[in-house]
Amino acid sequence: DAGITQSPRYKITETGRQVTLMCHQTWSHSYMFWYRQDLGHGLRLIYYSAAADITDKGEVPDGYVVSRSKTENFPLTLESATRSQTSVYFCASSPGLGPPDTQYFGPGTRLTVL
Amino acid sequence: GQQLNQSPQSMFIQEGEDVSMNCTSSSIFNTWLWYKQDPGEGPVLLIALYKAGELTSNGRLTAQFGITRKDSFLNISASIPSDVGIYFCAGQLMNFNKFYFGSGTKLNVKP
């Protein structure tokens, strides 16, 4: 039972490079989410998706692109990475049968932009 | 965006002591979730609450959905060193599938 996985777990890149963070869930959950976690800001929602081919912006979407061609995958792309995007990124999923609902997190990707 | 006020920000307690933390909001939520995050890991769901007034336990953890639907509480009884971590609350509004998160309570337990 893999649940929700993220890859890579650690990534170092340079300013201006494109980076894609992967998220995969095996529960067939409808909803998937991307958050970033920074000291002093807690968890902030970047993008979310209600189903395949349906995505919407969260609180901090600038500089990020998402896609969801398959229910189980929700990649997050930084088109031109900046130092301010150094953070820990968490993917999460929800069954989407509610509200009420629950949400489960992946292990995170620690991204450093030099 | 929605504001969830979580307190305290951090706690330093002795092993064996009980712990209480809470989240409050100016909005009415229809779901409250409590998570624990260990260093280098993702948040792990501890307890989910779906009804106002609901009291739910998970081992030594007990959480309550406030009757006003604007707050929730988490209690940990007889704390142990492995309780160390950051605890987050999350609330879900009616008719929205997004969750809003508190800023976390960092718990330190001294053996």
Dist. CA A75–CA A69, nearest whole Å? 10
Three-class secondary structure of residue B80 per DSSP: coil
- The verdict on a CB contact (< 8 Å) between A100 and B92 is yes
Residues B32, B23 contacting (CB under 8 angstroms): yes
- Would you state the structure tokens that stand for residue B3, as one six-digit string? 């504001």
Residues from chain A contacting residue B101 (CB–CB below 8 Å)? 42-43
- Would you state the structure tokens that stand for residue A20, as one six-digit string? 């894609």
Q: pLDDT band at A2, cuts 50/70/90?
A: low
- The verdict on a CB contact (< 8 Å) between B92 and A99 is yes
Q: pLDDT band at B3, cuts 50/70/90?
A: confident
B85 vs B95: which has the higher pLDDT: B85
Find the residue in B nearest to A36 (Cα).
B42
Closest listed residue to residue A93, CA positions, set A18, A14, A3: A3
Q: CB contact, 8 Å: A59 with chain B?
A: yes
Interval B55-85: pLDDT, tens: 999 999 999 999 999 999 999 999 999 999 9
Q: pLDDT band at B2, cuts 50/70/90?
A: low
Find the residue in A nearest to B101 (Cα).
A43
